């Protein structure tokens, strides 16, 4: 056996082949190439490339077999996508892409046990031979999925064989030009049905950039386009909804002066109109509830972030809730003795130093009884929303001026919630507000799911006597919630003890087959400042 028992394969023949493959790869990497000619180097690169291309094709077949024979009890993750992502250290998106590629390129097994050819047999065969790059395969798959329903099975098979044959000779950029014209070749009359249009509709929201901006792509059906045109005709006109105006025009026709002041491009005006529609939709309250809370924007920030963001307040007051009026004056303050004043929901005392706040639930005006009188200059790092997006702290305070506010304070020493800005007994919605402020998202080590996609989990299992108290509940996404439990193969949850720099946070204890030492872990992803914090005391727990 050339590998450790943890990664060895039970089949001796397969283990021998894998050992030989790994050893051959090492020998290739150690070849002395200094005296080779460039012709030899190119030949070696080509042959190695062919081998490298073969392996993903074979791997897709194994992926398809795993999916057909999947059992939720065999691996820590309860689905194939997460298992591949965690084992191979790839993104869930990449793991999902391999799953989908297996649908097109891997043999299948019928209910009768009969082996079926892949849906794209010629492409799959060329991929296994090592003559196609992943880019070739992606182009062919995309082209075949774009074909309209009017194209019958025989024509589809002919088109796939043609593209696979051309891919053996062409670069991906050359093949793409042919694939882009495939519709015209097999569907010269341009016949498309509602089914074709429904299949192509999509909206993709990209990642936020360093400037917090996001690139989105849309393919909309005719009805959606008509709705957008109606909105833009009203709200994307010059002079309407201009954020540069003191009182932006919404319903009335803008005067000539407002039109002249509007320097936005057509694209910027359409963006602002689209944003206004979304804002009105959320503020209407007609979306109901999501996971126990009204559908609304929730923003979490520390009290220190909130105080640091406001540069002009009176010396004896400090901002305690994220609300700024349209005129820019502070709407709620907190005195040096720790008393919250002017919060629109409730006022009360908060003992200890506050480390977290959450703002949400659109309703009312939230003007309070603020003491700040001068213009407020806001600056500072961006803050997280319940959906995982980052927005500037200035935008957060502006949004808060139109909301009821929740103030959650946490003790610096043990991380326990000290005060929730409500006078009634804590209810489920209020507990979620606390978790948005404290956890931000899923607490499972390394998980990136935001609070909007999380369920509530008892740190101490309910069946074992756990209580439904705010400091005993935590956010967990659905896949990781199913991994929590008290069995030998489950992850156990608890609370980091006082005195640790992660005090009050949720810790996860892995099962022995994942970590024989069973060292507790916490999730740093939603608290990026932790990555740069000084090393904790020697008895601190492992972080993830």
518: left (phi over 0), alpha (psi -120 to 50) or beta: left
d(CA 161, CA 309): 62
Residue 366 — left, alpha, or beta (φ > 0 → left; ψ -120 to 50 → alpha)?
left
Residue 365 and residue 229 in one domain: no
The reply to whether 198 falls in a domain is no
Same-domain pairing of 322 and 359: yes
Indicate if 516 and 376 belong to the same structural domain: no
Residue 430 lies in a domain: no
pTM for the structure as a whole:
0.62
How far apart, in whole angstroms, are the C-alpha atoms of residue 437 and residue 407? 9
Question: Among residues 141, 158, 186, which one ends one of the domains?
Answer: 186
Q: What single string gives the DSSP state of each residue in 252-273?
A: SPPPHHHHHH----HHHHHHHH
Asked if residues 139 and 174 have their Cβ atoms less than 8 Å apart, the reply is no
Taking residue 98's Cβ as centre, other Cβ atoms within 10 Å add up to 19
Instruction: Round to whole Å and give the CA distance between 332 and 366.
Output: 9
Cα–Cα nearest to 432, from 360, 343, 523: 360
Encoded tokens for 419? 């005060």
pLDDT of residue 246: 81
- Cα separation of 490 and 80, whole Å? 17
In a domain? residue 275: yes
**173 and 46 in one domain?**
yes
Whether 321 contacts 340, CB under 8 Å: yes
Closest among 210, 155, 197, 496 to 381, alpha carbons compared: 210
Residue 41 sits in which domain range? Answer: 37-186
Same domain, residue pair 41 and 178: yes
Of 283, 307, 326, which residue is a domain's last? 283
Residue 428 lies in a domain: no
Residue 432 falls within a domain, yes or no?
no
Q: How many distinct structural domains can be found in the chain?
A: 5
- β 108-109/115-116 pair status: antiparallel
Based on the fold, state whether residues 168 and 266 are members of the same structural domain.
no
Domain assignment present for 288: no
Looking at the structure, do residues 231 and 246 belong to the same domain, yes or no? Answer: yes
pLDDT of 153 reads: 93
User: Do 211 and 342 reside in the same domain of the chain?
Assistant: no
Q: Are strands 521-522 and 542-543 parallel, antiparallel or unpaired?
A: parallel
Q: Is residue 71 part of a domain?
A: yes
Distance between CA atoms of residues 414 and 471, nearest Å: 10
pLDDT of residue 343: 31
Domain C-terminal end among 257, 283, 309: 283
pLDDT, tens digit only, all 544 positions of the chain? 576 666 788 899 999 999 999 999 999 999 999 999 999 999 999 999 999 999 999 999 999 999 999 887 777 777 899 889 888 989 989 999 999 999 999 998 888 888 899 999 999 999 999 999 999 999 999 999 999 988 999 999 999 999 999 999 999 999 999 999 988 888 888 888 888 899 899 999 998 998 999 999 999 999 999 999 999 999 999 999 999 888 888 888 898 999 999 999 999 999 999 999 998 888 888 888 777 677 777 777 666 666 666 544 434 333 333 333 222 333 333 322 232 333 333 323 333 333 343 334 333 333 333 444 444 455 667 877 777 788 887 787 777 665 555 555 555 545 555 444 433 334 467 778 888 888 889 999 988 888 888 988 888 876 666 777 777 889 999 888 888 888 887 899 998 888 887 888 899 998 887 788 889 999 988 887 676 655 444 344 444 5
Residue with tokens 């999947």: 70
Check whether residue 26 and residue 41 sit in a common domain: no
* Residues whose CB is less than 8 angstroms from the CB of residue 35 and which lie 6 or more positions away in sequence, other chains included: none
Asked if 55 and 181 sit in the same domain, the reply is yes
Instruction: For residue 35, give both structure tokens.
Output: 């005296």
Q: Are 121 and 254 found together in one domain?
A: no
SS3 86: helix
Question: How far is the C-alpha of 440 from the C-alpha of 52, rounded, in Å?
Answer: 41
**Is residue 322 helix, strand or coil?**
coil
User: Encoding tokens for residue 128?
Assistant: 């296994």
β-pairing, 405-406 vs 357-359, is: antiparallel
Whether the CB-CB separation of 396 and 359 falls below 8 Å is answered with yes
- CA 40 remoteness from chain centre: 46
Residue 131, domain member (yes or no): yes
Residues 45 and 147 in one domain: yes
- Give the Cα separation of 175 and 133 in Å (integer): 12
Q: Which of these, 345, 321, 316, lies nearest to 331 by C-alpha position?
A: 321
Strand partners, 146: none
């Amino acid at each position: 056996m050339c590998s450790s028992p943890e990664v060895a394969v039970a089949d001796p023949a397969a283990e021998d082949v894998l050992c030989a493959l790994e050893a051959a790869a090492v020998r290739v990497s150690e070849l002395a190439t200094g005296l080779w000619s460039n012709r030899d180097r190119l030949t070696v690169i080509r042959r190695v490339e062919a081998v490298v291309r073969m392996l993903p094709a074979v791997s897709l077949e194994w992926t398809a077999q795993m999916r057909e024979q999947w059992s939720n009890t065999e691996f820590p993750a309860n689905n194939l996508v997460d298992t591949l992502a965690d084992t191979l250290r790839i993104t869930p998106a990449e793991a999902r892409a391999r799953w989908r590629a297996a649908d097109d390129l891997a043999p299948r097994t019928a209910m009768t046990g009969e082996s079926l050819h892949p849906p794209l047999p010629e492409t799959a065969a060329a991929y296994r031979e090592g003559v196609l790059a992943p880019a070739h395969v992606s182009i062919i798959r995309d082209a075949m999925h774009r074909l309209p329903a009017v194209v019958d099975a025989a024509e589809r098979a002919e088109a796939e064989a043609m593209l696979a044959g051309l891919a053996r000779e062409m670069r991906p950029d050359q093949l793409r030009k042919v694939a882009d014209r495939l519709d015209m070749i097999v569907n010269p009359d341009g016949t498309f049905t509602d089914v074709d249009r429904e299949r192509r509709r999509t909206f993709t929201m990209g990642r936020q950039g360093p400037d917090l901006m996001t690139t989105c792509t849309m393919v909309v059906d005719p009805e959606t386009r008509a709705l957008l045109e109606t909105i833009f005709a009203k709200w994307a006109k010059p002079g309407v909804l201009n954020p540069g105006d003191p009182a932006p025009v919404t319903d009335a026709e803008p005067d000539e002066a407002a039109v002249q002041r509007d320097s936005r491009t057509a694209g910027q005006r359409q963006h602002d109109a689209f944003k206004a529609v979304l804002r009105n939709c959320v503020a209407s309250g007609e979306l109901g509830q999501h996971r126990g809370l009204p559908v609304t924007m929730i923003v979490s920030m520390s009290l220190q972030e909130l105080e640091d963001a406001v540069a002009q307040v009176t010396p004896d007051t400090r901002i305690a809730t994220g609300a700024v009026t349209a005129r820019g004056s502070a709407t709620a303050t907190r005195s040096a003795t720790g008393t919250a004043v002017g919060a629109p929901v409730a006022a009360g005392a908060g003992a200890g130093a506050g480390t977290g706040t959450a703002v949400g639930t659109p309703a009312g005006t939230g003007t309070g009884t603020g003491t700040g009188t001068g213009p407020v200059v806001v600056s500072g790092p961006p803050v997280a929303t319940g959906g995982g997006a980052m927005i500037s702290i200035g935008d957060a305070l502006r949004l808060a001026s139109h909301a009821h506010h929740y103030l959650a304070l946490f003790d610096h020493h043990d991380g326990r919630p000290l005060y929730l800005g409500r006078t009634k007994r804590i209810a489920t919605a209020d507990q979620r507000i606390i978790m948005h402020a404290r956890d931000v998202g899923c607490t499972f080590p390394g998980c990136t799911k935001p609070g909007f996609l999380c369920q509530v989990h008892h740190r101490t299992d309910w069946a074992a006597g756990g209580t439904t108290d705010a400091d005993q509940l935590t956010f967990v996404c659905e896949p990781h919630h199913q991994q929590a439990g008290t069995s030998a193969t489950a992850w156990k949850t608890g609370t980091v003890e006082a005195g640790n720099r992660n005090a009050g946070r949720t810790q996860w204890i892995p099962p022995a087959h994942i970590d024989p030492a069973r060292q507790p872990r916490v999730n740093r992803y939603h608290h990026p400042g932790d990555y740069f914090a000084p090393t904790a005391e020697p008895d601190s727990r492992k972080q993830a």
